[in-house]
Amino acid sequence: MTSVEKLKKEFLEYLEIEKGRSVKTVENYDRYLKRFFEFSKISSADGIDEDIVRKYRLYLNRANLDKPTQNYYIIALRMFLKYLSRRNVKSLDAEKLELAKLPERELDLLGAEDLERLLNAPESSSEHGLRDKAILEMFFSTGLRISELCGLNQDAINLKRGEFSVRGKGGKVRVVFVSESAKKAVAAYIDKRKDVDSESLFPVTPRSIERMVKKYAIKAGITKKVTPHVLRHAFATDLLQNGADLRSVQAMLGHANISTTQIYTHFTDKQLQEVHKAFHGKRRK
């Protein structure tokens, strides 16, 4: 009988090689599964049963982990069990593991005026100001994640065509589109930048971008917390408010499951409700 440690090692290799998961993701799965094995002290896969999983979930909850984090541990275990089933290794059915129900996420959203002030906050007289303007415009134009934007190379961006490919989560490639205002901002920055030999389009760290976005939000007089991810939200809600369908927005955001994208429909549904309240039945007595 194959030990669980050997099965775990083979599962992690499967994630990296066949599923194309990043090294960081594989490391996280390793850490999540290691915690389960240390808790359960099982030596073989058939030792994983509903009783041990129930006790493990209780242990995670009492370890003061928030519900989303607890779910990460259960997702890792569930994927491991699915892998075992594929290998015809006797163990617990993965379908018996349900994720903890999470409260509905609240979206941090920017109004149109706040967004415009933020995008216009950088000074255009310096290289840094032009770079920051280009970064902000790119976030709103493309819906890129911060890691995706930091990984962009100059030669990957075709400003004339206004589109380029980006490799996102899970190694999945998608096409993103550059608006006219973003094209102008990026072109102005490239024209001004001094380190022309750098392959990176924006040679900055994710942390420095987060600080930069916060700085311009304060400068623009925005009181709510603004992050690069808030600009990703702005990108998605702008598309939906202007009539884009959910599947298209899913593709442009690079979401593997449409259920992840559906969070934005709660916002647009609320907008429709407000329109209904404002305009419906006003002539009735």
Q: What is the pLDDT of residues 211-233, one digit of tens each?
A: 999 999 999 999 888 999 999 98
Residue 88 sits in the same domain as residue 118: no
Residue 116 sits in the same domain as residue 92: no
Instruction: Write out the residue range of the structural domain in which residue 38 sits.
Output: 4-96
Residue 186 sits in the same domain as residue 122: yes
For 77, the enclosing helix (H) or strand (E) is helix 67-86
d(CA 14, CA 91): 18
Does some domain include residue 27? yes
pLDDT tens-digit map of 118-164: 999 999 889 999 999 999 999 999 999 999 999 898 888 888 888 89
d(CA 226, CA 202): 20
d(CA 274, CA 205): 40
The last residue of one of the domains, among 69, 96, 123, is 96
pLDDT tens-digit map of 157-172: 888 888 898 888 877 8
How many structural domains compose the chain? 2
With CA atoms as reference, report the closest residue to 45 among 103, 15, 86, 14. Answer: 86
Residue 133 sits in the same domain as residue 69: no
Residue 118 sits in the same domain as residue 250: yes
pLDDT tens-digit map of 239-262: 888 888 888 888 899 888 887 787
User: Strand, coil or helix: what is 82?
Assistant: helix
With CA atoms as reference, report the closest residue to 234 among 213, 218, 215, 219. Answer: 213
Residue 165 sits in the same domain as residue 267: yes
Residue 266 sits in the same domain as residue 242: yes
State whether the Cα torsion 19-21-25-27 is positive or negative: positive
Q: Has this prediction a pTM greater than 0.75? A: no
Residue 73 sits in the same domain as residue 122: no
- Which residues carry out catalysis? 145, 169, 229, 232, 255, 264
d(CA 168, CA 56): 32
With CA atoms as reference, report the closest residue to 161 among 143, 136, 186, 135. Answer: 186
Query: Which range (62-71, 164-173, 202-211) has the least confidence?
Result: 164-173
Q: What CATH number corresponds to the domain at position 186?
A: 1.10.443.10
